[in-house]
Amino acid sequence: MNAGDITIMIAAFAVVASLILLVSTMLGSSQRTSDVSTVSTPTGRSDRHANRPLPQIGSLLMPKNESRMSRLKARMLQAGLYKRHSTAIYLGIKFVMMVAPMFVGFLLSTAGFVTLREGLAFGAIVGLVGTVAPSFWLDYEKAKRQKTIRRAMPDALDVIVVCLEGGLSLPAALARVAAELRQAHPLLAEEMAIVRREIQLGHTTGEALRDFANRFDAEELRSLASVVSQAERFGASVVKAMRVHADTLRLKRYQWAEAQAQKAPLKLIFPTVLLIFPALYIVLMGPAGVRVFEMLERF
């Protein structure tokens, strides 16, 4: 038995062991409840399904370290996954994406479509991609939410300033924002509704806005929460602070738009060189090339 056969046997054993682990994890009778069941929803309300056991396949990859678990919870919230069992479901999908490609490659080799070595190589490569792809997806969702909320915040602050000048309290102004901007900025309206519910549950406005900032990991929102907290603490005018903050955010949005416009010519180079120029060369040089070819055939 040579080294190649030994490698194939070890890989096949790893596939079978992974399959057994996956089946036993999904069908196991004993289910353990993870620490993630203690995470409170963004509204601050207790979940009546808090004692429901988590999906077994998700709890298998649940971090044991408290700091790692806290970072994972924060990433889930920043990606917009607020449900109690979102972490377990996310880890379960990640586990399936790690193990399932090896099993698929083994089945393909058993069916005779590919050799065993090719099937296991396919499973290893796809499994490696499946290991890191969910993490990149979380980062993408976080960046998309941050971009959306940064575009919406100047408009929201304008509405808040108008409401405060009209005599409304800050919680009432937040409720007005949630109602008025629901069509233009649905994500902001939903988050403002969560902030309003947290205030109704006993949090101060500064604390609710700080939780709002933590759900997006945006410095602009942290600055807003700090402004409101200081105004509540020292009794300063919230209207003036909000107006200055709105002007600052609008200036940042304008500067960001200018930066994106300046990047546009550089981004156009690659499609121009790779797509437009070849097609242009074919259209211009094609007829001449055909005539040259015909002339060469005559000789």
Residue 270 lies in a domain: no
* Residues 160 and 239 placed together within one structural domain of the fold: yes
* Residues 87 and 154 placed together within one structural domain of the fold: no
CA 56 to each of CA 33, 85, 92, 95, 102: distance values in angstroms, whole numbers, following the listed order = 9, 11, 8, 11, 21
Least Cα distance to 86 among 68, 74, 98 occurs for 74
Task: Measure the CA–CA gap between 180 and 234, rounded to whole angstroms.
Answer: 30
Residue 289 lies in a domain: no
Task: Measure the CA–CA gap between 34 and 22, rounded to whole angstroms.
Answer: 18
* Per-residue confidence in pLDDT tens, the chain, 299 aa: 455 554 554 555 555 555 555 555 444 433 433 343 333 445 444 444 444 444 455 566 677 778 888 888 888 888 888 888 888 888 888 888 888 888 888 788 888 887 878 888 888 888 888 888 888 999 999 999 998 988 888 888 888 888 888 888 888 888 888 888 888 889 988 998 899 889 888 888 888 989 999 999 888 888 888 888 887 787 777 787 778 878 888 888 888 888 888 888 888 888 888 888 888 888 888 888 888 888 888 76
pLDDT of residue 137: 92
Helix 219-234 and helix 238-271, axial crossing angle in degrees, nearest 10: 180
Q: How many domains does the chain have?
A: 2
- DSSP sequence for the chain: --HHHHHHHHHHHHHHHHHHHHHHHHH-S-----GGGGPPPTT-PPPTTTTSPPPHHHHTT--SSHHHHHHHHHHHHHTT--STTHHHHHHHHHHHHHHHHHHHHHHHHHHTSS-HHHHHHHHHHHHHHHHHHHHHHHHHHHHHHHHHHHHHHHHHHHHHHHHHHTT--HHHHHHHHHHHTTTT-HHHHHHHHHHHHHHHTT--HHHHHHHHHHHHT-HHHHHHHHHHHHHHHHT--HHHHHHHHHHHHHHHHHHHHHHHHHHHHHHHHHHIIIIIHHHHHHHHHHHHHHHHHHHHHH-
Task: Measure the CA–CA gap between 32 and 89, rounded to whole angstroms.
Answer: 14
Counting every residue, how long is the chain? 299
Cβ count within 10 A of residue 132: 12
Cβ count within 10 A of residue 190: 15
* Residues 99 and 216 placed together within one structural domain of the fold: no
Task: Measure the CA–CA gap between 201 and 242, rounded to whole angstroms.
Answer: 24
* Residues 89 and 151 placed together within one structural domain of the fold: no
* Residues 174 and 249 placed together within one structural domain of the fold: yes
* Residues 169 and 57 placed together within one structural domain of the fold: no
* Residues 36 and 108 placed together within one structural domain of the fold: yes
Cβ count within 10 A of residue 285: 11
* Residues 38 and 84 placed together within one structural domain of the fold: yes
pTM over 0.85: no
Q: Which residues of 155-183 are buried (b: 16+ CB within 10 A; e: fewer)?
A: bbbbbbbebbeeeeebeebbbbbbebbee
Q: Domain span at residue 82? A: 3-140
